[in-house]
Structure 1
Amino acid sequence: MGFNFDFDLDRELFKELFNHWSNLNESHFAAKQLSGGITNRLLKVSVEEENGNMVHVTVRIYGPNTECVINRDRELQAIPHLSAAGFGPKLLGTFENGMVQSFIHARTLDASDMRKPKLAAEIAKQLKSFHQVDIPGSKEPQLWNDIFKFLKKASNLTYDDCKQQNVYNKISFKEVETELIKLKELTGQLEAPVVFAHNDLLSGNLMLNDDEGKYPSKDEQYHFFRHYLNPEKPNEVSDNDLEALYVETTCYMLVSHLYWGLWALIQEKISDIDFDYLEYFFLRYNEYKRRKNGCFSLAKSYLS
């Protein structure tokens, strides 16, 4: 999809960030909007240098008011350490409402890719390494702080559109709060380790050089777990360790539905991206309710 590139404004940005491009005129720059982002806007900017070489960078433009739900300082602190460990693009520069990063020549995965045994094993191996990256700063878990912050913000919104407001008014935030409290109590009994997590590791955020019912089966999850727990000798992972991780991830899957559901309500209010965030809230919350009883029964059986 094309993007209306404001050259006079944006070339000055690139001049400031990259001195070696300061003498290039408009004909050396081209920009294209990348699809998929529902929090930020992503642009691929191509620059033809004076020697004829083509350089590609990614410009990430933050969605309006996303600093309300994303700690940008923490994000900028983490990116260089993750990049040094081989994860994600390199940070090339920052500006008031975004950043410039190196461009990764790869395709994003889709849900069906993540069920392929070879790919699942590689993702598990890389995720294990990601969780072991030492990021400076607080090691206190942020998940529950963030999700209750989302709840507070999401439960005090008003929408200009009457139809949106009517849909929003049907949400029982007291019910959501009750579910969160029960989930926090349940997951607290699992003693899950605290790691630096991506927190949005859906298929579209995974890259590979090269609609329904796509949640992996238990066997597919166990295959993934073996390669996460012991990448070098996956077949030596014990049944007890597999079961423990299965229960842990199943419970936190429920947390994910509530986390991103509440996030969506806030995005509906603050984002100018064309996406039905209200519908997304109900999609995630209904999936939470559909899976809740089975997940709680599994955890309580395991803990008893």
Structure 2
Amino acid sequence: MIKLCLPYLEGISENPTITITKITIGTINYCFKVTIDDTKVMVRIYGSELSNVVSDRVREFSLLLLANRFGYGPKVHLRFNNGYVVSFIEGNPLEIVDFRKKDMIALIAEKMAEWHNIKMPENLVPHLTMDIWQNIEKWIQLAQSFELDISLFTKEIELLKNELQGEDQLCLTHNDLNSGNVIYNAGKEEGTVTFVDYEFSGLGNRYFDLANHFCEWCGLDFDYSLFPTREQQLEFLVAYLTNLSPTKEEPNQKELESLQEIVNKYQLLSHYFWGLWAKIMAEKSNSNIFDYKKYSETRMKLYFQVKKELLPETSTRDKTDL
């Protein structure tokens, strides 16, 4: 694989020195930093075969090429059957504690606004769309084909659609901004952040993208006490809306509070989305790099907890046996 990549790299000697370092283990895939002489690349290898069914690898790679085109992502060197090779982005992945730092809130909000402001070429829109609802329907059908008990999920989908579907605003979204997918480089005066891993990215719902990022403050262990407070959410959203505005004008209070209310409700969809994903992975994946079962149970317990707080009139008869 590395040898196949050599012709595409510049400044490589005839007999290069190669070192390989595992840089992260995510919930599905494996990533390695490969140094070839003085050139650094990142090799991403997809995990279980099921992950290739649950995820849209064609859309993922297309988004990688698009991010490359707009200068938001690494240079693409090579694609192979079970992954790809890109230039290595200098910097360090964040820790969840970093999300609470004021300078990091500002940087991530600014970068998210940049993503959401990108104008998609019309001819690419059909190929890059990440429709959350269609994705959920696909996963439900997949789970049913595996004869999994997902009655807990099928009972909730119509309620979510009724509560949220009318709020869609489509733009280029990442949809998985956990700490490991935000690379911080302190090389410049204020530092920069780069979003990586486009497995769930696409033309999607900005409210989901924002709400899901707030959920990622809780980490993979999902400590809900770390979910951003209302004040922290507003701080993030002020920076986001200011950078979203063509004139960089700060939002008025009504606009700000309206967005915060919508985004807060969308955390329900984040809990549901990842709860269903992890349910399928727990039952049918042969990967042992992540406790999918525990994660699914945690997210769905929180789904019903948050639903009771935000939509009390719909929660009186909930049964949450997982």
- The two structures have a TM-score, normalised by structure 1, of 0.80
Distance of 2:8 and 2:313 partners within structure 1? 53
Contact 1:226–1:235 (CA under 8 A) maintained in structure 2: no
Report the Cα offset of residue 17 of structure 1: 5.0
| 2:174 equivalent among 198, 205, 210 | 198
Q: Which consecutive residues of structure 2, in runs of 5 or more, have no partner in the other structure?
A: 187-220, 315-322
SS in 2 for 1:42: strand
Tell me which residue corresponds to 1:12: 3
Distance of 1:14 and 1:132 partners within structure 2? 33
Paired residue type of 1:200: D
Change (3 A) 1:298 1:33: farther
Tell me which residue corresponds to 1:266: 280
Encode CA deviations 1:259-290: one digit per residue, 9 max, x unaligned.
11111123232242421111111011111111
Change (3 A) 1:141 1:277: closer
Q: Does 1:118 align with 2:103?
A: yes
SS in 2 for 1:63: coil
> Percent identity of the aligned residues?
29
Distance of 1:278 and 1:42 partners within structure 2? 23
User: Aligned pairs, how many?
Assistant: 270
Tell me which residue corresponds to 2:235: 223
Change (3 A) 1:11 1:236: closer
The runs of at least 4 aligned residues of structure 1 exceeding 6 Å deviation read 232-235
Report the Cα offset of residue 84 of structure 1: 3.0
Distance of 2:242 and 2:253 partners within structure 1? 13
Query: After superposition, where does 1:167-182 map in structure 2 within 5 Å?
Result: 173-182=150-159
Distance of 1:264 and 1:22 partners within structure 2? 44
Tell me which residue corresponds to 1:88: 73
| 2:125 equivalent among 137, 151, 154 | 137
Tell me which residue corresponds to 1:40: 29
Q: Which consecutive residues of structure 1, in runs of 5 or more, have no partner in the other structure?
A: 1-9, 49-53, 159-168, 300-304
Tell me which residue corresponds to 1:75: 60
Encode CA deviations 1:115-147: one digit per residue, 9 max, x unaligned.
112211121111011112234222766110001
Contact 2:5–2:77 (CA under 8 A) maintained in structure 1: no
Query: After superposition, where does 1:39-58 map in structure 2 within 5 Å?
Result: 39-48=28-37, 54-58=38-42
Tell me which residue corresponds to 1:257: 271
Whose Rg is larger? 1
Tell me which residue corresponds to 1:241: 255
Distance of 1:246 and 1:132 partners within structure 2? 19
Paired residue type of 1:186: E
Paired residue type of 2:57: R
Change (3 A) 1:134 1:71: farther
Report the Cα offset of residue 298 of structure 1: 11
Contact 1:63–1:272 (CA under 8 A) maintained in structure 2: yes
- The two structures have a TM-score, normalised by structure 2, of 0.76
Distance of 2:129 and 2:82 partners within structure 1? 27
Tell me which residue corresponds to 1:208: 184
Change (3 A) 1:249 1:236: same
